[in-house]
Amino acid sequence: MKLLVGNDDGIFAPGVRALANSLAKDHEVTVVCPDRERSATGHGLTIHQPIRAERVTSMFADPVQAWACSGTPADCIKLALGGLLDSLPDLVLSGINQGPNLGTDVLYSGTVSAAMEGVIEGITSIAFSYGSFTNQHFQPAADFARQLVHHLTQTPLLQPMLLNVNVPALPVDQIKGVAITCQGIRRYHDIFEKRIDPRGKNYYWLAGEVMEDLNDPMPLSSANAQILSDVQAMQENLISVTPLQYNLTAVGALNHLADWLAPLRLDGAAI
């Protein structure tokens, strides 16, 4: 298969090297990553300045073609699909991110946004994240990525979607399995530290603390009520695989809101 790999930790991150080199054993792999760390940039795009891309020849196994891009994670995938590749890939992959992307993290994550750019173009995509901000033993996660991609080649998904995969930072023999999960809720207690620069001017540094609420999952239908959240799965030492989509419409509210809005008049008269 032809695979496109991106990330938000940058072209020099060990996670993307582990992912690309493992997948290159079985597939044709192209890597397009930011030229520096671009974590928590969400789905931002570069539209007010040029985007530059340079070939990288020394970071990856010989079969891998790699580019360092001056743009955001989403820029990297858009540029690869629209300007660098001669044909579309079979899958878009992102990661392996240093640190998990759980619950509402996916709204801010450059890792997830890079993969979502593939789904927007109709290509099944996978975002891989590792459950530690310091441990860099990425190979178990890379090995699982290789297994999952092989499984997708044998049993493709019915429609393009994003699989958000979080792998516990544990030895393989301590990981208890793989679970299909729903998006949980991960709240942060935001703390802005006020500091003073050498010129005596104030600046602020975001230093929030995570608050994981395991008893407040995203609402599910009764048929799916027993599905774990991604936060819960990681707490239970399971690899979490969460299907995501870019359509954010609150479908369950559409009929209610139509009735709620009906009395509104556009002629300025009181209702």
Q: Which tokens hold the place of 75?
A: 């820029």
Asked if 164 and 112 count as a contact pair (C-beta separation under 8 A), the reply is yes
Asked if 53 and 75 count as a contact pair (C-beta separation under 8 A), the reply is no
Q: DSSP secondary structure string, 140-189?
A: HHHHHHHHHHHHHHHS--SS--EEEEEE-SS-GGG--EEEE-B---EEEE
Per-residue pLDDT reduced to its tens digit, 202-255: 988 776 666 655 544 555 554 556 899 999 999 999 999 999 999 989 998 999
Per-residue pLDDT reduced to its tens digit, 149-178: 999 999 999 999 999 999 999 999 999 999
**What pLDDT does residue 187 have?**
75
Asked if 119 and 161 count as a contact pair (C-beta separation under 8 A), the reply is yes
Asked if 29 and 20 count as a contact pair (C-beta separation under 8 A), the reply is yes
Give a three-class secondary structure readout of 55-72. EECCCCCCCCEEEEECCC
Does the pLDDT at position 268 exceed 70?
A: no
Share of the chain above pLDDT 70, in %: 90
**What pLDDT does residue 93 have?**
98
Per-residue pLDDT reduced to its tens digit, 82-129: 999 999 999 999 999 999 999 999 999 999 999 999 999 999 999 999
Residue tagged 């942060």 (tokens): 188
Q: Which domains does the chain have, with CATH numbers?
A: 2-184+219-254 (3.40.1210.10)
- With b for 16 or more beta-carbon neighbours within 10 A and e for fewer, the 60-77 pattern comes to beeebbbbbbbbbbbbbb
**What pLDDT does residue 212 have?**
59
- β-pairing, 28-34 with 2-6? parallel
DSSP H or E run through 113: helix 110-120
Q: Which amino acid type is present at position 159?
A: Q
Angstrom distance (rounded) from CA 230 to CA 220: 13
**What pLDDT does residue 185 have?**
86
- β-pairing, 91-98 with 2-6? parallel
pLDDT-derived band at 266, boundaries 50, 70, 90: confident
**What pLDDT does residue 265 have?**
72
Per-residue pLDDT reduced to its tens digit, 25-70: 999 999 999 999 999 899 999 999 999 999 998 889 999 999 999 9
